[in-house]
Amino acid sequence: MKNILVTGGAGFIGSAFVRYMVNTYPHYNIIVYDKLTYAGNLDNLLPVSDEPNYRFERGDIADRETVRRVYREYDIDTVVNFAAESHVDRSILSPDAFIHTDVVGTYILLDEGRAHGLERFLQVSTDEVYGDIEEGFSKEDDPFLPNSPYAASKGGGELMVRAYHVTHGMNTVITRGSNTFGPYQYPEKLIPFFTTEAIDNRPLPVYGDGMQVRDWLYVDDHARGIDVVLHRGAPGEAYNIAAENQRHNIDITRRILELLGKPESLIRQVRIPKATPPVLP
């Protein structure tokens, strides 16, 4: 393992992983490949931008020709795939981009990687693939029961990774991270969104009674967990990465308001959004 391509490395979790890897493994070459959509930001990588073992290439993982060029140009031996459309609400309203990136893009990375002779392929997925858990924690052998196009697209990407392991013998591993938070997070996610909205005294939309439970994982802990799986994970296996820090959404919301000195009257209960029906000809 020497030349590692980190796709989606300018995003929230991807950039945390890049910053960690560049500083922890100076003998590795870390090449970031990112489309720089709304959630990707080169400012996330400024802390390592001058390091000699860091490079950046702009591109789409669903662009086969560019993926092939980057594999060859940097003699890539390892891929860590963070690249994904990753917002549940956006996937409900416009699922096409999620399927294109999360499924088709993953397939192209794998297919070109097989031809190139990759030594290792790590797919960064999500615990959303398990769906709702009545109690306790998800286990790696639990069935997939996705509740949104986002979760379904990530599950589809995982199944493609498994297929390339079983069919072609590729050395693949998968991580499924829980709800991640921390610096550089794009402000559409709960903590940064509610924080910025509350600062401006705008209402905070909480789905239903807010009693949904999520495991909250700090982004640097998530990055270190991925590193462990990259180096020690058994080929063909999937690994949950979690903090065992389960909290209700409403409790997180109230804590944000408390820290900001804002009233709980800013909380607004809303229904879960549904996709707009297509207009038929």
How far apart, in whole angstroms, are the C-alpha atoms of residue 52 and residue 50? 6
Q: How confident is the model at residue 87 (pLDDT cuts 50, 70, 90)?
A: low
Query: Catalytic residue among 34, 127, 158, 215, which?
Result: 127
Q: Of these residues, 54, 107, 130, 150, which one is catalytic?
A: 150
Rounded Cα distance between 209 and 193, Å, is 18
Residue 275 lies in a domain: no
**pTM for the whole structure:** 0.90
The reply to whether 220 and 258 lie within a common domain is no
pLDDT the model gives residue 92: 61
pLDDT, residue 54, reads: 98
In a domain, 15, yes or no: yes
Total domain count, the chain: 2
Tell me, yes or no, whether 280 lies in a domain: no
Q: At what angle are helices 12-24 and 219-232 packed, to 10 degrees?
A: 60
Name the least confident of 80-94, 151-165, 174-188, 215-229.
80-94
Give tens-digit pLDDT for 39-55: 899 999 999 999 999 99
Same domain as 197, residue 67: no
Whether residue 112 is found in the same domain as residue 166 = yes
Considering the domain architecture, whether residues 21 and 99 belong to the same structural domain is answered as yes
254-280: average pLDDT:
79
96 is catalytic: no
Q: In what order do the strands lie in the sheet with 179-181?
A: 179-181, 213-218, 246-248
Q: How big is the CA angle at 258 (ends 252 and 261), to the nearest 5 degrees? A: 145
The yes-or-no answer on residue 60 being catalytic is no
Provide the CATH number for the domain around residue 90: 3.40.50.720
Q: Which of 60, 102, 112, 128 is catalytic?
A: 128
Its domain, for residue 256, covers: 190-211+247-270
Residue 279 confidence (pLDDT): 38
pLDDT at 91: 56
Same domain, 19 and 148: yes
Residues 137 and 201 grouped into a single domain: no
Backbone φ and ψ of 268, nearest 5°? -125, 125
What tens digit of pLDDT does each residue of 21-38 get? 999 999 999 999 999 988
Query: Of 253, 252, 278, which Cα lies nearest the Cα of 267?
Result: 253
75 annotated active-site: no
- Distance CA(257)–CA(262), nearest Å, equals 5
The yes-or-no verdict on residue 210 having pLDDT over 60 is yes
Q: Are 117 and 202 in the same domain?
A: no
Looking at the fold, whether 50 and 153 belong to one and the same domain comes out as yes
pLDDT in the model for residue 148: 85
pLDDT higher than 70, residue 86: no
Confidence of residue 116 (pLDDT cuts 50, 70, 90): very high
